[in-house]
Amino acid sequence: MRNLKVMIAYRGTKYHGFQRQTNALTVQEVVERHVSKVLNQPVTICGCSRTDTGVHANNYCFNVKTDSRINCRGFVRGVNGELPDDISVLSCEDVPEDFHARFDCVGKEYVYKMHCSESKNPFATDLMYHYRRPFHLDIVKEAAKYFVGEYDFSSFSTDNTGAKSSVRHVYSFRIENSGDSVFMLVKGNGFLYNMIRIMVGTLIDVNEGIISPGDIPAILAAKDRLRAGRTAMAHGLYLNRVFYSEEEMFAEP
């Protein structure tokens, strides 16, 4: 039995997240259908994480076990030939049979993309959050520094019922801009449900003067979702990188 580690990218606009659902179209359902066709056997893929409806992925990892003898290059070409245009296989490799895309993951990096302009960008529809106000980079960066570290992030999650603990370690929170575009890159050992979107929404509230940068520690300590800011729109969020070793995770970008 072979175990294949597969990296894909997808545009999440048409999908209700990654994980299979009984009443909605998901990335997993579509990928499994076409991978099964190429491998000539029904398979279930194991994804590295869930993503919300409308969220995208620059790099998403899954593993799949198969008896097929297809080589990895043939797998990539074959599956890409079957998939719709909004999902792409980036790579495939043989890995040990006990590798699991979710349980062996040591960290992830997300990026949130914003287009900050009064005018909309027709090339960024459903791919960046259109924000019509000026963006005060220095103030938002000051607030974002308070997220770095190991904390209970209950204030920044809408549902912790499936999590054993609300404590997460955020290793870095970088904010970059290029022209009208703003990119927030968050790296950590794991994230609660809607955690990234609520952190971003809280920083948007900081930008608008609703929350002060110095309020962030008290919001964290409160462990109360009502103390944090808005939940940012899903279509600006991307799973950017998935890490399977600390060396890879802490390497300079």
The residues annotated as belonging to the active site are: 52
**Are 182 and 116 within 8 A, CB to CB?**
yes
Interatomic CA distance for residues 61 and 5, integer angstroms: 7
How far is Cα of residue 36 from the mean position of the Cα atoms in its chain?
Answer: 25
Residue whose C-alpha is closest to residue 58's, from 88, 30, 78: 88
Helix (H, G, I), strand (E, B) or coil at 9: strand
Residue whose C-alpha is closest to residue 48's, from 1, 10, 14, 80: 10
Interatomic CA distance for residues 221 and 218, integer angstroms: 5
Interatomic CA distance for residues 138 and 135, integer angstroms: 9
Residue whose C-alpha is closest to residue 167's, from 203, 197, 191, 196: 191
Give, as one character, the DSSP assignment of residue 83.
Answer: S
Residue whose C-alpha is closest to residue 175's, from 126, 142, 133, 211: 142
The token pair at 168 is 């997460």
Interatomic CA distance for residues 246 and 251, integer angstroms: 8
Task: State how far the alpha carbon of 37 is from the alpha carbons of 31, 127, 205, in Å.
Answer: 10, 30, 47
Interatomic CA distance for residues 27 and 38, integer angstroms: 17
